[in-house]
Amino acid sequence: MKTLSVPYFYIIIISLIACQSTSDHDSPAMKDSINIHPEITIDEIRTSLENKEYSISQLTQFYLNRIEAIDKNGPKLNAVLTINPDAMTIAQQLDEEMEQGQIRGPLHGIPVLLKDNIDTHDKMPCTAGAIPMKNSFPLKDSPLASQLRDAGAVILGKTNLSEWANFHSSFSSSGWSGLGGQTNNPYELSRNPCGSSAGSGVAVSANLCVIAIGTETNGSIVCPSNNNGIVGIKPTVGLISRSGIIPISFTQDTGGPMSRTVTDAAICLGTLTQEDPNDTKTTQEGRKPQKDYTPNPAVKDLSGKRIGYFKKPLNGNVRMTQIMDQTVKDFEALGATIIEIDHIMDDDVGNKSYEVLLYEFKDGLNKYFESLGENGAVKSLEDLIEQTFSDDTEMQYFDHELLKISQSKGDLNDKEYQEALAFIMNKSRKEGIDKVMNEHNLDAIITPTGSPAWKTDLTNGDNFGGIFSSSPAAISGYPSITLPMGQMDGLPVNVSIFGRAWTEAELIQIAYCYEQKTQHRFSPTYKP
């Protein structure tokens, strides 16, 4: 079998809409129109609900109408794969609870979309964007979905994604799935949203929801956050349970919130940190979860902070260097001391990580398919390969060779896997991020998240523009947060802030201070 280079796979105007409901849940109040501005926050919604400016049902119907108008018609973003048929019923129940003074949690009534590789036990399938999975209905909620419900979220539906979280072919277009087609960037529709959490990133940016949940193995939260000009948090692996999330890698996978502000992402993150006995990463020694990651608004600057600047990912890009130079000045103006660093980990770590993922993808998928029971639409990775390669739509653009390469691997007892795993854990952690941060006494590291969105190309696949910065945090399993730092030709670009394990709260506070000073987030214009 041919040798494949390591792809960056795992990343791999509109008027406000009146809520004129046509559902069976109509009431006179429901027919009143409401206006929701495109940058609305959780706190603003909470205030409006408390003041009875509108109900949760009205809010939910607004977003369902907006998805229909913008995602399915209008610009046709193609970000939402499935609508939850029970969304209005859930909203009505939450309205009733609120009337009785019962607030489930910090997301009570907040409309949320989930990436369609996250199990929900309802009328929605969980597909990973793959045609063979179109009728795959999980037997129970994932812990992530269950915690969102407990916090009061209204799950509006599931978002499109790069099929199998972009771990399927030797080349591909991020945001494409056989089941959902290509997701489009809301800033310029011909541009790519990045992936694999493409639909989640687009949906948040276009205000098709308030919060979306993405998942990342390497870049799949931070890259679509970059291309769509939003905030994304990739937490330490083990902070959020991965049970019931269609896997790539036990070592690197994690879910995480995507939003338009640092505070909203932090609010959501705090609702998702329960231990899960079925995911040993959430019970590991030294785990430090919090229930509240909301940044302190009284902290206005970064005085005393030592922040590393990892410049290498710029790769000589002159225009991106200019934007990062200004970002560094902004951090310094906030009181931070900036220390340039030129190295975190060797290239061999990425190659070994790829080997780890091939083994863990096979193991994890087979276990996931087994969890679906006798009625599962796919029985094994071998069965998936057979169904995929016999489907003309699945094979129209991309080769799906990674499925076959993964199938050719042995089990997790193989020496090749064990040695590769030990190598990446040591080189990315003790001799990687930990070493660099200890040597320079750093509180965090900043780096450009990525280039501006490239033109979508289903013939040649992705063109990332040469900036790849997600790997140190992704391979180590350490936390990273990305947020807007500027724009190039009307396209957003982000800065990433990452650091040691379990330092989400500190990174969020740093990101918040930078966000409040710069306010770089801007709404998309749906340019053709």
Task: Please list the active-site residues.
Answer: 115, 196, 220
Give the Cα separation of 488 and 510 in Å (integer): 24
Query: Is it true that the peptide bond before 523 is cis, omega within 30 degrees of 0?
Result: no
CA 159 to chain centre: 11
Give the Cα separation of 476 and 425 in Å (integer): 6
For 432, list phi and psi in degrees, rounded to 5: -120, -105
Contact 182, 456 (CB under 8 A): yes
Would you state the structure tokens that stand for residue 111, as one six-digit string?
A: 């409309």
Give the Cα separation of 518 and 521 in Å (integer): 9
Would you state the structure tokens that stand for residue 469, as one six-digit string?
A: 């910065």
Contact 338, 331 (CB under 8 A): yes
Give the Cα separation of 408 and 481 in Å (integer): 35
- Spatial CB neighbours of 265, under 8 Å, sequence gap ≥ 6: 211, 231, 232, 233, 257, 258, 259, 481, 508
Cα distances from 438 to residues 125, 171, 471, in angstroms, run 46, 38, 19
- At what angle are helices 87-99 and 56-66 packed, to 10 degrees? 160
Contact 70, 150 (CB under 8 A): no
Burial string for 339-370 (b: 16+ CB within 10 Å, else e) reads eebeebbeeebbebbbbbbbbbbbbbbbebbe
- Find residue 211's DSSP bridge partners: 112
Would you state the structure tokens that stand for residue 218, as one six-digit string?
A: 């390497």
Contact 334, 517 (CB under 8 A): yes
Give the Cα separation of 42 and 26 in Å (integer): 25
- Using a 10 angstrom Cβ sphere, with 0-12 exposed, 13-18 middle and 19 or more buried, the burial of residue 97 is middle
